[in-house]
Amino acid sequence: MTTLFTVTEENLETGLRGIPVGYCRTSSVDPQKGLFYCGHPIAELAGWPSEKVIYLLQTGKEGTAAEIEHFTDQLKEHANLSDAVISHIFNLPREGHPMDLFSAAILIVKMFEGTGDYQKDCLNLIAKIPLIAACVINHHSGWEKGIDSDPSLGYMENFSRMVKVPNCNQEQLGDVLKLFNILHYDHGGGNLSAFVGKCVASGLQDLYGSVAAAMSALAGPRHGLANQLTLNFLQRMQADLAGDLTEKGVRSALEKMVEKKELIYGFGHAVLRVEDPRATVQYALAKEKFSDNSLVQLALLVRQVGPQVLQEKLHVACPYPNVDAISGSLLTAAGFAYPEYYTVLFGVSRSVGIALQVVYERLLARGGKGTPIVRPKYIYRP
């Protein structure tokens, strides 16, 4: 058997970074080319219907028109929740963080509608997760006391309609939410939320419980909060610049931040050594739809100047924008100026990839035996 990696003392207490621990059949990340879903570059998939992308992740193939139509019908058939589930979600305490409500809501669905069959629950959860999130957001925000679901509209089309964001352009928001959703479905097997979900499933927790645990992992500020932190960073810079949206002004502001050892959010990546293609796609949409928005204009200037400053001043390995560099600004420009819910939107997407990875590890890995319970060795060190 080929030795893939030799673990050294220096590798310990580093979060297993870079150490192979399994296989991922849904996606991969290339340092120079970015994210791929089943061998397809993410930029190629950005304009696909959501259902077609999910089918690709589930089956590993594009699918014929008839296959995509059948799969879409399945998602629509399983998209609704019982009145009891919706009632319980709307009775969760609004004092909690939205991600706490989101994880709790997934567990509520498990208790009422879980089957214990990983394959069936995977399809059901993927179909229902937009509705679960819409209930959570509408309830927590107080925007809506109920839910108005019409699965016939389409996967993300229904979601953007269900979430009652006040005073927004529904068509523009729908375009942004659809793109955001597709870009965040999966990101290899070793990101924290995916890894946690699979670890929990290795103990034979069911799919709903495993994904709920994964969402708790996603909620941490080192994982799913990045786009919110980047948005806050840009908004603070916008206030400090006081309208000086010039390359010179932005460069000066960034250099001062570096001198003060302040973080420049939205740049750098653990694997990539180029601009994240997911960011590139979002920048294109931002320029097409929201070029007059001052926050978007600032984000575009920071995209231009940021890598230069980071290379010159800090010599960082990857000074280029990542997926979070523009997503918060894009959502805000589209009218979704509520960053406390951005991680929930992330969770709606990432639940898809995690659920599919759990199914692989439980039902297909090792010739159908499934992976054993995760049990790494820790070395006693007094």
Residue in 132, 347, 102 with CA at minimum distance from that of residue 218: 347
Residue 215 to residue 347: CA distance in whole angstroms: 6
| 324 catalytic per annotation | yes
Q: Which amino acid is at 180?
A: F
Beta-carbon contacts of residue 102 (< 8 Å; ≥ 6 apart):
132, 133, 136, 215, 344, 347
Residue 264 · residue 310 · CB < 8 Å: yes
Looking up tokens 């509705």 gives 131
Residue in 193, 253, 197 with CA at minimum distance from that of residue 225: 193
Residue in 56, 19, 22 with CA at minimum distance from that of residue 41: 56
Secondary structure (DSSP) of 269-323: -SS-SS--HHHHHHHHHHHHH-TT-HHHHHHHHHHHHHHHHHHHHT--S--SB-T
The catalytic residue among 140, 187, 269, 276 is 269
Residue 280 · residue 274 · CB < 8 Å: no
| 139 catalytic per annotation | no
The catalytic residue among 223, 244, 276, 315 is 223
DSSP state of 374: P
* Residues β-bridged to residue 40: 37
Secondary structure (DSSP) of 138-190: HHHHTS-SS----GGG-HHHHHHHHS--TT--HHHHHHHHHHHHHHTS---S-
Residue 184 · residue 47 · CB < 8 Å: no
| 78 catalytic per annotation | no
Residue 133 · residue 102 · CB < 8 Å: yes
Q: Cα dist. 225→7, 123, 265 in Å? A: 30, 27, 11
Q: Which residues are tagged catalytic?
A: 223, 269, 324
